[in-house]
Amino acid sequence: MHRRVSTLAGVVILLALGLAPAPTAQSAPPGAIPRDAWGRPNLHGVWQASNEADVGLEDHMARAGMPAGRTVVEGGTIPYQPWARKKQQENFAARATADPLNKCYMPGVPRIMYMDFPFQIFQSRNQVAMTFEWSQIFRLIYTNGSKHADGIEFWMGDSRGRWDGDTLVVDVANHNDKTWFDQSGNFHSSELKLVERFTMLDADTMQYDVTVEDPKVFTAPWRMRMPLHRRKDVPRLLEYQCQAEVEEANGAFPRDPLTWFPGLQK
């Protein structure tokens, strides 16, 4: 069920949040890293990962509905504590019903960043906003020096960013323990802390690095990394509403034959 996301509604939301697009960005030669009005790399645009990390962060063979993929984890293997590796294996065995995403729960961070759905970045002086095609989830990354909220857990964590030269560094805290890293049952506790680094390599490629720390589950911090690619073939995000698609597939309601595609009639 893909429908157009209202551009006007999006602009209204951004204005209300103080996240209206930045003033005219500085022009850049073809291939050069674009920059915003304040001289920082301009992350505006639609982006998407191109890997199988959402299937499994580590090397994994193909299975029904799960294409094979290579690890995105530095060193190849996640450093689980023994009990936690056993728990991950139990999660994997029960993934058809145990994966929170199969219940249309929010994917959490970092999983939302490498799911097989595009997302769009909006950037202003003191905030970076990300909106995702998957169920219109969004992230607000405050770069104004504000601190994490105290005593509140979030499905998508609480993101606070800063610029380190040309790299956007984001500390993500206050996670709940309900989300997985991927379909393979890799998991964390509510003690999870992330440090994300977004670095533009060229005008259409952004390096995404994530350092993961959770002393309750892992023996040491570990890191994953992958490129994100600019989507030039889509002028805007479409819409994938997970719960609506599941209910329709289960026969809860019929699809409305009216769509926004030109030329299609009832």
Q: With 90 as the cut, is the pLDDT of residue 24 above it?
A: no
Q: With 80 as the cut, is the pLDDT of residue 126 above it?
A: yes
Question: In this predicted model, what pLDDT tens digit does every residue of 139-180 receive, in sequence order?
Answer: 999 999 999 989 899 999 999 999 999 999 999 999 999 999
H/E stretch holding 121 reads strand 119-123
Query: Please, what is the end-to-end C-alpha distance for the chain in angstroms?
Result: 16
DSSP letter for 113, please.
H
Do 142 and 160 touch, CB atoms closer than 8 A? Answer: yes
Per-domain boundaries in the chain: 7-250
Q: With 70 as the cut, is the pLDDT of residue 29 above it?
A: no
Alpha helices per DSSP H over 17-124: 82-93, 95-98, 111-114
CB burial class (10 A; 0-12, 13-18, 19+) of residue 97?
exposed
DSSP letter for 52, please.
S
Please state the pTM of the whole predicted model. Answer: 0.86
CA 4 to chain centre: 20
What's residue 2's pLDDT? 41
Q: With 70 as the cut, is the pLDDT of residue 58 above it?
A: yes
Q: How many other C-beta atoms can be found within 10 angstroms of the C-beta atom of residue 131?
A: 19
Integer Cα distance of 100 and 155 in angstroms: 11
Backbone angles phi, psi at 60, to 5 degrees: -150, 145
What's residue 246's pLDDT? 83
Determine how β-strand 158-164 pairs with β-strand 119-123: unpaired
Q: With 60 as the cut, is the pLDDT of residue 9 above it?
A: no
Mean pLDDT of the chain: 88
Q: How many other C-beta atoms can be found within 10 angstroms of the C-beta atom of residue 56?
A: 25
Q: With 50 as the cut, is the pLDDT of residue 7 above it?
A: no
Task: Give domain 7-250's CATH architecture.
Answer: Beta Barrel (2.40)
Question: In this predicted model, what pLDDT tens digit does every residue of 72-118 receive, in sequence order?
Answer: 999 999 999 999 999 999 999 999 999 999 999 999 999 999 999 99
Integer Cα distance of 154 and 57 in angstroms: 23
Count of H-run helices and E-run strands, the chain: 5, 9
**Percent of the chain residues past pLDDT 70, beyond the cut:** 84
Least confident of 139-143, 216-220, 255-259: 255-259
Q: With 90 as the cut, is the pLDDT of residue 62 above it?
A: yes
Q: pLDDT-derived band of residue 259, with 50, 70 and 90 as boundaries? A: low
Do 106 and 179 touch, CB atoms closer than 8 A? Answer: yes
Backbone angles phi, psi at 119, to 5 degrees: -145, 160
